[in-house]
Amino acid sequence: MKIGVIGSGIMGNGIAQVIATSGYEVVLVDVNYDVLNKAKQTIMKSLEKLAQRKQSILVDKILSRIEFTIDKNHLKNADVVIEAIVENIVVKRTLFQELDELCEEKTILSSNTSSLLISEIASVTNRRDRICGLHFFNPVPLMNLVEITGTEETSSETLAIAEKLVASINKESIHVKDTPLFVVNRLLVPLICEAISLVDEGTASVADVDKGMLLGANHPIGPLRLADMIGLDTMLHIAEALYIKTGDSKYRVPELLRRKVETGELGRKSGRGFYQYA
């Protein structure tokens, strides 16, 4: 199988890496070669770290399986294309419409969206039976879960191919109805938002909130440090999307989260969020 990945950011380059590591030919597409070169360096460093623990990781061989290009035409004959671009429904729909016209009839188009409905993305295409969601988790090389989402029009064959692909790259999958934020984020976002509210109210410090969940709930990482890892701007976008979609007050967005994003405190990627990073 030939797999296309569109978007070479944190999620896209991670997806390309794990798929290439499993022996697939990958085409990684982005808007310019500067971001693609950055993605290549990120993938290489990640593989080098993994190679220190696993002799089976052959960095150069895996990298040779990934084509880095700005030309979407290289996706024409892909078996599966995974979109991992900005979490914006208008931009995603525009891309899927373009891919629908460009790619061969066999091609399955999938989205890595974490908050948008697959049915809304699929509605602009003429292959709604071959559209699905493949939601990976960050960091992709280390996280074992992929949420597979189908619409009422997604064929059973498409879902079977998606499940087989996920299994072949050594990931586990769960099947999720096409609903806002699917399963994991639907549970995770309210937890993180409540943790942020506890800090904003002065109930407990950032360190103590995280320590409480580490030791009291046996979580491997505290919710606030996890928010920093995800990116507070991403957290804000997802939280707002859930609140808008459901209108449920339990999904309210904490003001402290808004303030941090407004001041550029986005977590690890900006060097400061709920914690400071070197």
Which residues are designated catalytic?
Answer: 114, 135, 147, 185
Neighbours of 247 (CB within 10 A): 8
Choose among 122, 113, 43, 117: nearest CA to 85: 113
3-class state of residue 146 by DSSP = strand
Cα 119 from chain centroid?
18
Burial class (CB in 10 A: 0-12, 13-18, 19+), 237: middle
Burial class (CB in 10 A: 0-12, 13-18, 19+), 242: buried
Long-range contacts of 72-77 (CB under 8 A, 24+ apart): 72/6, 72/29, 72/98, 72/99, 72/102, 73/102, 74/4, 74/27, 74/29, 75/4, 75/6, 75/27, 75/29, 75/99, 75/102, 75/103, 75/107, 76/102, 76/103, 76/104, 77/2, 77/103, 77/104, 77/107
What CA–CA distance (Å, rounded) separates 15 from 28?
Answer: 10
Q: In what order do the strands lie in the sheet with 80-83?
A: 66-69, 25-29, 2-6, 80-83, 108-111, 131-136, 145-150, 172-177
